[in-house]
Amino acid sequence: MALFGRSTQQLGQVDFDNLPRHIAIIMDGNGRWAKRRGLPRTAGHAAGAETFRTIATYCKDIGLEYLTVYAFSTENWKRSAEEVSAIMGLLKKYLLEAIGRMERDRVKMEFFGDLSPLSPELQEMCARTREISKHYEGCQVNICLNYGGRDELVRGAMAFARDCVQGRADPDHLTQEQFGNYLFSRGVPDPDLIIRPSGELRLSNFLLWQSAYAEFYFTDVLWPDFSKEELHRAIAAYQGRDRRFGGV
Ligand code: FPP
């Protein structure tokens, strides 16, 4: 298929008619990217946020249904106050921009994580973004903010237990599908492809429940250098995999 005048061949063998429905990305390597350039870590996050914008826009353009990114984990609070504040500032900047472009882009935005420790201003922006875009269809971007896979599972277990105590749920009859509705990702299909740049080969508490049958793509490229071409390589690798979901 020709896309924007280029052939599939030139785009690293991507079959744009058979894209994964859901791609999730661990945006890693911002700090190392900055260090290699003698810049402060915060400059790496600023470059990483730009890459997020480029990749998210491109995903929408090619018709991807769901993109989920790990922006701030439950463990990231251990970083210096300056670095945490820089990341929060970037989130604010890009959310404001997204709100400004919403009518045009019509990208639905969701947030996975407990937003209550964020500043009231940022919480309000997340709520507004969610509210404005909730009826948009086509592409959904999920930003994981103060997110941790174990935290999500414990919160889900607590909510289920509360429902049991109040007689709204039965502890002897819980299906995987029902439990999925207690998670931040309720209503979103599991990721088909999880990408982790920067050479680290681990999940770091990302989408622990949802990644059960995901395909993984690791690359040494640092997140700020992650390009559309690199995304094509990841999708092409995914398309070459044989997904059996436990069958034969
Ligand atoms: C991991 O790299 C990156 C983060 C913890 C922050 C990611 C945040 C952004 C890209 C900016 C804001 C996001 C959006 C959605 C606008 P690292 O710092 O752990 O890198 P290192 O392992 O090289 O130190």
Contact 219, 233 (CB under 8 A): yes
Residue nearest to atom 2 of ligand 1 (CA): 28
141 close to ligand 1 (CB < 6 Angstrom): no
- Paired tokens of 117: 């420790």
Pocket test for ligand 1, best of 26, 28, 51 (most atoms within 8 A of CB): 28
d(CA 126, CA 114): 12
94 close to ligand 1 (CB < 6 Angstrom): yes
Give me the helix-helix angle, 41-62 and 228-239, nearest 10°.
60
Residue nearest to atom 22 of ligand 1 (CA): 29
Predicted confidence (pLDDT) at residue 4 exceeds the cutoff of 50 = no
- Paired tokens of 151: 């935290």
Burial letters 223-248, b for 16+ CB under 10 A, else e: bbbbebebbbbbbbbbeeeeeeeeee
Predicted confidence (pLDDT) at residue 101 exceeds the cutoff of 60 = yes
For residue 56, give the H/E element and its range. helix 41-62
Q: How confident is the model at residue 181 (pLDDT cuts 50, 70, 90)?
A: very high
**Non-local CB neighbours of 223 within 8 Å, separated by 6+ positions:** 27, 28, 29, 30, 33, 48, 51, 197, 198
Between 87 and 6, whose confidence is greater? 87
Contact 195, 52 (CB under 8 A): no
Where would I find the H helices in the chain?
30-36, 41-62, 81-100, 102-105, 120-133, 149-165, 176-180, 228-239
Predicted confidence (pLDDT) at residue 1 exceeds the cutoff of 90 = no
Regarding pTM above 0.85, the answer is yes
Q: How many other C-beta atoms lie within 10 A of the C-beta of residue 141?
A: 23
d(CA 214, CA 192): 5
Residue nearest to atom 24 of ligand 1 (CA): 31
73-96 pLDDT, tens digit per residue, is: 999 999 999 999 999 999 999 999
**Non-local CB neighbours of 104 within 8 Å, separated by 6+ positions:** none
Predicted confidence (pLDDT) at residue 11 exceeds the cutoff of 60 = no
What is the model's pLDDT at position 12?
63
Between 151 and 8, whose confidence is greater? 151
Contact 114, 146 (CB under 8 A): yes
Over residues 211-232, the mean pLDDT reads 98
Predicted confidence (pLDDT) at residue 104 exceeds the cutoff of 50 = yes
Domain ranges of the chain: 22-149+189-239
Give the catalytic positions in this structure. Answer: 28, 76
109-145 pLDDT, tens digit per residue, is: 999 999 999 999 999 999 999 999 999 999 999 999 9
- The amino acid at residue 151 is D
232 close to ligand 1 (CB < 6 Angstrom): no
Over residues 186-193, the mean pLDDT reads 98
109 close to ligand 1 (CB < 6 Angstrom): no
Ligand 1 atom nearest 34 alpha carbon: 23
Give the single-character DSSP code of 193: E
Over residues 155-184, the mean pLDDT reads 98
Over residues 160-178, the mean pLDDT reads 97
Ligand 1 atom nearest 53 alpha carbon: 16
Q: What's the mean per-residue pLDDT of the chain?
A: 94
87 close to ligand 1 (CB < 6 Angstrom): yes
29 close to ligand 1 (CB < 6 Angstrom): yes
What is the model's pLDDT at position 8?
46
What CATH superfamily classification does 22-149+189-239 receive?
Decaprenyl diphosphate synthase-like (3.40.1180.10)
- Paired tokens of 35: 């260090």
Contact 45, 30 (CB under 8 A): yes
Predicted confidence (pLDDT) at residue 105 exceeds the cutoff of 80 = yes
- CA 6 to ligand 1 centroid distance, Å: 32
